[in-house]
Homo-oligomer: A and B are copies of this chain.
Amino acid sequence: MIAATLDGRGGLRVAEHARPVPASGEALIRVLAAGICSTDLELRKGYMGFAGIPGHEFVGVVVDATVPTDLLGARVVGEINAGCAACSYCREGLERHCPKRSVLGILNRSGALAEYVTLPVRNLHRVPADVTTDRALFTEPVAAAFEVLEQVRVQGGRVLVLGDGKLGQLVARVLDLAGAEVTVIGRHARKLAPLRADGFATLVAGRDAPPPAHSFRLVIEATGSPDGLEQALRFVQPRGTIVLKSTCAGARPMNLAPVVVDEVTVVGSRCGPFAPALEALARGRLRPEDTIDARFPLAEVERAFEVAESPGIRKVLLEVSA
């Protein structure tokens, strides 16, 4: 099969790989489509020291499994953390924090920018018939957005989202579903336009006047930038909460005294639950497929990454098989 391959030194190319063999408890999945996430762009820059096949957003069809499953032939999406199934985290349903976990296309597990991928059967979720493959492709990032609701109480108040990228957009919409009054600050009027059209308060950084300092009880940092926390600290109220969503390569000098002086709570937030994400997608409460700005065949993954890195571009999709 062919697959996108990172060499761990910034290089990306399409290469021939052996078709993966599902281990005990795993399924073999033929990939229909895969998405390029900001984390993939960071991986290429050196985040996590990853080399191999990237990709953790996918929709596929189960073609084989080493355990009995009613998912054979079904269209599925997959949770990306594969735990040991034995530790206290796995037993609490928090495989995503298992210390021995592998993570699809990120840590010790080949990813989905490939014709075939393997995952434990217990990680897979059937895609409802009325959810298109384009829409289902967003299950993982929508789940990451729903994770915010698992971690902090939103209570219908005013919330600031920093970042108009893929994740920031989804977080804004999920918070809106939860009843929050959402303001989004981004860098690109074009990216913000659909949010503005749907009634969100939007501000273009550097063009529009920023909100007053320290005026939000809850700030979601989804800038994808190492200075995201500093930006968030400018807007959060004393005793307020910042949810930190960006994982970035590289370190940045940072003065944490404002966190202490203002007694701010900073909550790291990563992967989330697939079930509420799929439900919201099935009900049509989110239409993230509107943010697909470009499509490429897998063989053109290098070009797809280039486009994904361009300013103002939201989701780039790879069409892998029909």
* Contacts from A to B (Cβ < 8 Å): 47, 89, 94, 97, 99, 151, 214, 226, 229, 238-239, 244-248, 250-270
Contact sample, A vs B, 28 pairs, CB 8 Å cutoff: A47-B257, A94-B238, A97-B263, A99-B214, A226-B256, A245-B260, A247-B257, A247-B260, A247-B261, A248-B255, A248-B257, A251-B253, A252-B253, A253-B253, A253-B254, A254-B256, A256-B268, A258-B268, A259-B266, A259-B268, A260-B268, A261-B270, A262-B268, A263-B269, A263-B270, A265-B265, A265-B268, A266-B267
The answer to whether residues A264 and B253 also contact, given A99-B238, A214-B99 and a CB cut-off of 8 A, is no
Copies of this chain, complex-wide, total: 2
For A242, give the chain B residue with the smallest CB separation. B266
**Known A260-B269, A264-B268; further 19 A-B contacts with Cβ < 8 A:** A94-B239, A97-B262, A97-B263, A99-B238, A244-B256, A244-B259, A248-B255, A250-B255, A251-B254, A251-B255, A252-B254, A253-B253, A254-B254, A261-B268, A263-B269, A263-B270, A265-B266, A265-B267, A265-B268
Q: Which residues of B contact A244 (CB under 8 A)?
A: 256, 259-260
Main SS of chain A's interface residues?
mixed
CA of A247 to CA of B151 in the docked complex: distance in angstroms? Answer: 26
B260 touches A270 (CB 8 A): yes
| 8 interchain residue pairs of minimum CB distance | A97-B238, A259-B268, A251-B253, A251-B255, A260-B268, A266-B266, A247-B257, A263-B268
